[in-house]
Structure 1
Amino acid sequence: MILLVLLASVLILVVTVYQYDEQTKEYNIQRFERKETISKKTIDLELSNKTTHEVNTANLSKIFQNRIYEISSINKLNISLYDLEGKLLKTSFGNVFEKTEKGPLTEFLISELSQNSNHRVLKNKQIEGLSYQTSYSYIEDPKFKRIGILELQFTQDNTEIEQELEAFIYRLGLVYLLMFLLAISIAYFLSSYITQSIKTISDKMQLTRLNERNEKIILDKASLEIKILVDAYNSMIDQLEESAARLAKSEREQAWREMAKQVAHEIKNPLTPMRLTVQNFERKFNPKDENIKVKLAEYSKTLIQQIDVMSAIASAFSDFAIMPIQKKEKIEIISVVKLALDIFNDTSVRYQTEEAELHAFLDKTQLIRVVTNLVKNALHATENEEVPLVNVDVFSEGDTVKIVVSDNGKGVSSDVKDLIFEPKFTTKSSGMGLGLPMIKNIIEAYEGEIYFTSTEGQGTIFTVVLPKK
């Protein structure tokens, strides 16, 4: 709108100036032609009826001795009389408008006049803002015989017209300035009205999540285009909820399938040595053997070890499958962490804190599980180090409690950093890869977070952030 108003004002200004210029030229020509016609009729009348001199070329200056000034003054133009050779006979210059020395006519002009079909030549020129229009035609006696050449010159001062044009452009400029400001105001309110609805849609789209319930957009007043956009968004929300439900169902089914495969794989591992042990016992069993009790004890020990492994596998999957219950009670963090570290009879584990007491509303058992799991992973990462070191630091930061577990172990390679918290992923030679995913679920259940930084060959730092309330 603003651009159109601006463009229209510029175009109208250009057209107005052009039109004024054309009208001025046309008006000057018509005005000059009227004066020319009157002057020529006056001269013809003077030659036909009023003069007492013989009408010929030689007497032209006598005939119009004083009369030329009267005709010039009445019609407000300059008059000059020439013989047929172009020699000046009489002129009104010097008494009416301006003093100018007149010379003879050029041969080219005389030739142009004689060859012109209407025996008239019109010249236009402009000097210092003044427009000059000059016509050349023949003077004829009452018998239509050419006796001389008549020059009529009209001086047009366009200053008044230009002032009128400037005044008109000024008024027009004020009108278009008002229109321009009005267009800006309308454009502002119109764009605000449109963008308000679009911003509402944009805000809703930014809040759209696949795994959450999304609200539809309801607008009381909106244009047809915005209404179509809102209807499309609401339809997309319905489709998104259906797709999310199908995706969640598919993911759950896929997760259980993967879990079942993992459980089956982990259980098969101890079953194979148990089967071999039983078969070996059956094949070599001899009641009369003197060492039968020793061999039976060895077979029993092997079976019991494999059964313990299967029990540990079942417990791990059970703990991972059950989401932590948000049991909140006020506990003293410093002492609970120390209690969790007491089970590690290892001098490489160092506990440090500057807090005397630190309280938070958490579950004591789950906090111990988080700490012990992180420390176990850190000890495993430092197994091959000459001087293994695991630091556990607890401190308060605003409304949160931070537990930092760092080690100087082998670190985590950049290729697998994104997989650390994925179920079934592990960097150990043994284990099921459920420890970190399990504690991540515990921490997120309390609206906390866990993250880590690691440099390969230098160590890893895990940071747990938990709210105090």
Structure 2
Amino acid sequence: MKIKRLSLRIRIFLAMLLLTFLASVLIATVTIYQYKEQTDEYNQGRLERKEEAVKASINYWLNSGRGNTFPIVEENLKLIFREKIHEISDIEKLEINIYDLDGNIAKSSHAGFVKSDAPSKLSDTILNGVNNTIKHRYVNTKTLNQYSLQSSYSYITDNKFKPIGILNLQYLQDNTSHNKDLEEFLIRMAYVYMLMFLLAIGLAYFISSYITRSIKTVTDKMSLTRLNHRNEKIILKDASAEVFTLVNAFNEMVDELEESAIKLAKGEREQAWREMAKQVAHEIKNPLTPMRLTVQSFQRKFDPKDPEIHEKINEFSKILIQQIDTMSSIASAFSNFAKMPTQNREELNVVEVVKYALDIFTEDYISYFPKKDVIIAKLDKTQLIRIVTNLVKNATQALDDVENKKIEVTVSDDDENVVIIVADNGKGILEEDKEKIFEPKFTTKSSGMGLGLGMVKNIVEAYKGTITYTTQENTGTVFKIIVPKK
């Protein structure tokens, strides 16, 4: 799922959860960093305290006059600290090494078979660090077997503060208890974060729903907006300034849309009547032309003394009556189309009525396939016959230039509806005519008025049914009608 397709509510919800998660991670990171800093400061302070304690013991040993009996000079370092260095090491629980001023080891408290990590010769870096700093102290740190080993180097002085050697303390940091405390703290904090995250989910859902509730109302109303329907305005009492502006814009759009719909409907009606008037005039002119020619011919050839004058008058009258009947049928067709068909519902067998409607067609390529012998429905018999005859008539007209003509009429039903299908293998419906197929308009053929499908649609919709079709050019067309049984 792309982030651009997510709704605003989901985005706010995810953003709040992400913010809570990032805050938790950041707090945990800062806590771990702070804990490590405090541990390092603690170890450094502890090393400094031990160094002060060792120096105090050494100064007391050198200057009290009660312990050391050797002159306090660099050459006597081994003798001065021969036994005392082990005593101090045992008290302070760390390794002590003493070097001369050239960096050579003079005495060490280390004992045993394991080699000491202290260097036998101090590097120039260490010597310069001790000699050139203000406090004359140098500290370095290295990792030893997953432990941190701190080494401090500082001067040992006589009673006149003259350096006679370099004191080295080896302090091995054991952070096991600290790390355990940190682990327990992080576990407790993880439980707290889990609870906070669950609360954040509920809070984020509530806040995101509250923020987007007004927007969802606007969205729902906009999705129901139609040009040919009466659209409702949006009324929101507790809305933000931005949403209020959006609602006002929507309500103004509804007003403008309603005005546009009225103008459009009025224009469509006027256009429909203009088109209808043109078509009526055109269709009436068709019988008027042969009537005019007949009258003119009769006028030229009329002879009262003609022995066949009575037969000619009868033929002349017959032609005029036929054209008058044609004009009358045109008027009746438009009159019937203009008004909604009156329903006279009665229980009838749809299978028999459809067969009766097909009996007027003499074409042998029309086939009838009822799925049952009896399908009872409450319909108007005359209107049902009009539906079938109009569809079949249109199908026969679509087969004018087709070889192996075929029309199939099928009748079936389900629990609530009757289904009538009329299929032909004609030339199909052109793409540009598909949208106008049910419009009331005259046909381009030499006969007919193009009102058949429009009339069928009116009848079907009066029954609250549907009429649909599928077509393929040069292959055929299938019309499907579904009407309720009751």
TM class by shorter chain equals 0.7 to 0.9
Instruction: Select between 419-428 and 58-67 the one with higher mean Cα deviation.
Output: 419-428
Deviation at 1:177, TM superposition (A): 1.0
Label 1:171 to 1:56 Cα distance change in 2 as closer, same or farther (>3 A): same
- 1:401-429 Cα deviation digits (max 9, x unpaired): 22233344444445534433232264634
Q: Is the CA contact 1:419–1:425 (under 8 Å) kept in the aligned structure 2?
A: no
> 1:105 matched to which residue of 2?
121
Q: Is the CA contact 2:126–2:138 (under 8 Å) kept in the aligned structure 1?
A: no
CA distance in 1, matches of 2:130, 2:405: 123
What one-letter code is carried by the residue in structure 2 that aligns with 1:4? Answer: L
CA distance in 2, matches of 1:269, 1:393: 37
Deviation at 1:202, TM superposition (A): 5.5
> 1:58 matched to which residue of 2?
75
> 2:466 matched to which residue of 1?
449
CA distance in 1, matches of 2:247, 2:363: 63
Q: How many residues align?
A: 467
What one-letter code is carried by the residue in structure 1 that aligns with 2:384? Answer: L
Matched, 1:81 2:102: no
What one-letter code is carried by the residue in structure 2 that aligns with 1:11? Answer: L
Quote the RMSD (CA, aligned, Å).
3.4
> 1:187 matched to which residue of 2?
204
Deviation at 1:69, TM superposition (A): 2.9
Q: Is the CA contact 1:129–1:157 (under 8 Å) kept in the aligned structure 2?
A: no
Q: Is the CA contact 2:104–2:122 (under 8 Å) kept in the aligned structure 1?
A: no
Deviation at 1:79, TM superposition (A): 2.0
Deviation at 1:346, TM superposition (A): 4.7
Listed as ranges, the gaps of 5+ residues in structure 1 are none
> 1:22 matched to which residue of 2?
37
> 1:123 matched to which residue of 2?
140
- 1:411-462 Cα deviation digits (max 9, x unpaired): 4445534433232264634322111111111111101122334454454433
| Mapping 1:201-212, distance limit 5 Å | 205-212=222-229
CA distance in 2, matches of 1:92, 1:38: 16
CA distance in 1, matches of 2:57, 2:244: 81
What one-letter code is carried by the residue in structure 2 that aligns with 1:344? Answer: F
What one-letter code is carried by the residue in structure 2 that aligns with 1:147? Answer: I
Q: Is the CA contact 1:420–1:426 (under 8 Å) kept in the aligned structure 2?
A: no
Instruction: Select between 102-111 and 143-152 the one with higher mean Cα deviation.
Output: 102-111
1:42 to 44, 48, 57: 57
- 1:243-297 Cα deviation digits (max 9, x unpaired): 4333323322222222122212222333344344444554555556666556555
CA distance in 1, matches of 2:147, 2:465: 89
Q: Is the CA contact 2:54–2:92 (under 8 Å) kept in the aligned structure 1?
A: yes
Listed as ranges, the gaps of 5+ residues in structure 2 are 1-15
Instruction: Select between 65-74 and 453-462 the one with higher mean Cα deviation.
Output: 453-462
Deviation at 1:134, TM superposition (A): 1.5
| Mapping 1:214-253, distance limit 5 Å | 214=231, 236-253=253-270
Q: Is the CA contact 1:80–1:90 (under 8 Å) kept in the aligned structure 2?
A: yes
Label 1:433 to 1:306 Cα distance change in 2 as closer, same or farther (>3 A): same
Label 1:402 to 1:113 Cα distance change in 2 as closer, same or farther (>3 A): closer
CA distance in 2, matches of 1:254, 1:42: 117
| Mapping 1:413-424, distance limit 5 Å | 413-414=430-431, 416-424=433-441
Q: Is the CA contact 1:197–1:222 (under 8 Å) kept in the aligned structure 2?
A: yes
> 1:32 matched to which residue of 2?
47
CA distance in 1, matches of 2:95, 2:206: 63
CA distance in 1, matches of 2:398, 2:120: 118
CA distance in 1, matches of 2:144, 2:422: 96
Label 1:350 to 1:130 Cα distance change in 2 as closer, same or farther (>3 A): closer
Matched, 1:10 2:61: no
The DSSP-based 3-state class of the residue aligned with 2:106 is strand
The DSSP-based 3-state class of the residue aligned with 2:420 is strand
What one-letter code is carried by the residue in structure 1 that aligns with 2:370? Answer: T
- 1:172-227 Cα deviation digits (max 9, x unpaired): 11111110111123234445566777666655555544434455667788888777
Deviation at 1:75, TM superposition (A): 3.7
2:414 to 378, 381, 397: 397
CA distance in 1, matches of 2:111, 2:308: 158
CA distance in 2, matches of 1:168, 1:110: 39
Deviation at 1:19, TM superposition (A): 1.4
Deviation at 1:151, TM superposition (A): 1.6
1:369 to 374, 386, 390: 386
Taking structure 2 as the reference length, the TM-score comes to: 0.83
The DSSP-based 3-state class of the residue aligned with 2:456 is helix
- 1:130-159 Cα deviation digits (max 9, x unpaired): 222222223332233332222222222111
Instruction: Select between 233-242 and 336-345 the one with higher mean Cα deviation.
Output: 233-242
Deviation at 1:234, TM superposition (A): 5.6
**What is the aligned-residue identity percentage?**
57
Matched, 1:176 2:222: no
